[in-house]
Structure 1
Amino acid sequence: MGVRKAKALLPEVDGLDNERRVRVLGIIDKLRELGINENVSLPQLVVVGDQSSGKSSLLEGLTGLSFPVAADLCTRFATQIDLRRTAEEDAGVRITIIPGLLAQANDELKAHLLSFERKPCLHEFGRAEFKDVFDQVR
Structure 2
Amino acid sequence: MINFKFNLARFMCQLKKTIKVITYFGLFPFYLPRFIEYLNFNLSTIIFKDVDNFSYLYCALIIAFLSGMQWHKIILMGEKKYILVPILPLFLALSINYNFVYFDPFVILIFSLIFSLSIDLIILRYINQTWFKKLRINATFLACISFLL
TM norm. shorter chain > 0.5: no
Larger relative contact order (CA 8 Å, sep ≥ 6): 2
What TM-score do the two structures reach when normalised by structure 2? Answer: 0.30
What TM-score do the two structures reach when normalised by structure 1? Answer: 0.31
- Quick check: which has more Rg, 1 or 2? 2
Q: Which has the higher helix share?
A: 2
